[in-house]
């Protein structure tokens, strides 16, 4: 079935498929048939749900643990210390954002989480980091806390592992779109992903529905054009929810050993909405603190998001005007952070 037909069928279906788990153990297989089968699983998930879990993703547990404990230590610093790195002091959206400083859903009062955000940087700091310099609206140095020893190394360690995973996913997305596996190679040369570490304090007592962990949103960030997000969520704590076709929130619980992958707005736009960017939110009513780590993966900022040919047909003409990937991102960031 063609991509366009599959998209029309998915859109006509009443029910919303479950979020599938895709096993990446064969992602490096030399056999193109095996890789194509993986691409097909990705295609189904992208067309039907816009979300999937990946297992056997290759990021060691210790790498995750180190990033998590550094994050916990950072968030436990006094607010004045964290505010020294206030994201609003930078022009490129790096640093700390306190509770209620962001608002993902204009109908809400603010997001009940605090976060710390950074972009590409070599583990061995370099005076001239070309990749970072070419990172469009996000270009510029990261800021790092000095009060948590090893914070930079631990969080960057996870960052680089997740970026490597993201690089391996692009060929699968290409296969899913009936494109050559290397289609994204020359479009993601400087695609410096942005990572956030997030802390959601527990919400106890009566919860004002307008103040939740992260308001209903689709992912649009960040560096340039958000293709997809790789999300680690803390095991054992249910918080993430996905809006289904009947406008009901369904849980996307953490599944041990997996990461969540969800598609972003600009990938949906690029694929003429064949791939879905699905509304989601997080509410932490567990009674304990919850941590998560999304990494937003984009293309180079000067890539033109012309509709991919396999996603266009006479029955599905292009829905969007062509823009470069970087064009609208900063506006969306301004709306979220209010500066
Ligand atoms: O914390 C989560 O589970 C979701 C985070 C998220 O959706 C985001 O940062 O865009
Ligand atoms: Fe999100």
For the CA of 198, the closest atom of ligand 1 is 1
User: What is the secondary structure of 119-150 as a DSSP string?
Assistant: ----SS--S--HHHHT-GGG-S-----SSSTT
Distance, CA 127 to ligand 2 centroid (Å)?
Answer: 32
In three-state secondary structure terms, 61 is: helix
pLDDT at 131 over 80: no
Residue-range domains of the chain with CATH: 3-337 (2.60.120.330)
Q: For residue range 268-277, what is the model confidence (pLDDT) as tens digits?
A: 989 999 999 9
Query: Cα–Cα distance between 3 and 218 in angstroms, integer?
Result: 22
Q: For residue range 216-248, what is the model confidence (pLDDT) as tens digits?
A: 888 875 444 579 999 999 999 999 999 988 888
Query: Cα–Cα distance between 212 and 310 in angstroms, integer?
Result: 39
Q: Which of 87, 196, 223, 240 to mutate to test the pocket of ligand 1 (most atoms within 8 A of CB)?
A: 240
In this structure, which residue's CA is closest to atom 10 in ligand 1? 219
Distance, CA 5 to ligand 1 centroid (Å)?
Answer: 31
Say if residues 64 and 158 touch (Cβ distance below 8 Å).
Answer: yes
User: What predicted TM-score, i.e. pTM, was given to this entire model?
Assistant: 0.91
Partnered with residue 173 across adjacent β-strands are none
Instruction: Tell whether ligand 1 has an atom less than 6 A from the beta carbon of residue 233.
Output: yes
Distance, CA 148 to ligand 2 centroid (Å)?
Answer: 27
Q: For residue range 271-314, what is the model confidence (pLDDT) as tens digits?
A: 999 999 999 999 898 989 999 999 998 888 778 888 999 999 99
Near ion ligand 2, which residues have CB within 5 Å?
219
Instruction: Tell whether ligand 1 has an atom less than 6 A from the beta carbon of residue 292.
Output: yes
Instruction: Tell whether ligand 1 has an atom less than 6 A from the beta carbon of residue 234.
Output: no
User: What is the secondary structure of 278-308 as a DSSP string?
Assistant: --EEE---SSS-EEEEEEEEEE-TT-B-PPP
Instruction: Tell whether ligand 1 has an atom less than 6 A from the beta carbon of residue 214.
Output: yes
ipTM of the complex: 0.99
């Amino acid at each position: 079935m063609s991509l366009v037909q599959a998209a029309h069928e998915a859109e006509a279906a009443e029910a919303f498929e479950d979020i599938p788990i895709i096993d990446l153990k064969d992602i490096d297989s030399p056999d193109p048939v095996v890789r194509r089968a993986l691409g097909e699983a990705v295609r189904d998930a992208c067309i039907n749900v816009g979300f999937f879990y990946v297992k056997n993703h290759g990021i060691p547990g210790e790498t995750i643990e180190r990033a998590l404990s550094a994050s916990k230590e950072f968030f436990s610093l006094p607010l004045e210390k964290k505010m020294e790195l206030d994201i609003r002091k930078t022009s490129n959206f790096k640093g700390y954002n306190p509770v209620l400083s962001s608002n993902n859903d204009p109908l809400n009062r603010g997001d009940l989480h605090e976060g710390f955000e950074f972009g590409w940087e070599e583990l061995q700091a370099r005076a001239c980091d070309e990749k970072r310099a070419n990172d469009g609206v996000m270009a510029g140095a990261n800021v790092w806390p000095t009060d948590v020893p090893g914070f930079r190394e631990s969080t960057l360690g996870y960052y680089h592992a997740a970026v490597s995973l993201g690089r391996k996913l692009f060929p699968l997305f290409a296969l899913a779109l009936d494109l050559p596996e290397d289609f994204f190679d020359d479009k993601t040369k400087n695609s410096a992903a942005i990572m956030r570490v997030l802390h959601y304090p527990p919400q106890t007592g009566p919860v004002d529905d307008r103040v939740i962990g992260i308001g209903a949103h689709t992912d649009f960030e960040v560096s340039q054009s958000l293709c997809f997000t790789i999300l680690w969520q803390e095991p054992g704590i249910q918080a993430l929810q996905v809006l289904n076709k009947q406008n009901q929130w369904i849980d996307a619980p953490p599944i041990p050993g997996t990461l969540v992958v969800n598609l972003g707005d600009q990938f949906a736009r690029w694929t003429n909405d064949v791939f879905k960017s699905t509304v989601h939110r997080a509410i932490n009513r567990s009674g304990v603190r919850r941590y998560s780590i999304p990494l937003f993966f984009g293309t180079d900022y000067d890539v033109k998001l012309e509709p991919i040919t396999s996603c266009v047909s006479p029955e599905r003409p292009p829905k969007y005007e062509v823009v470069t990937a970087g064009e609208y991102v900063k506006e969306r960031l301004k709306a979220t952070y209010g500066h």
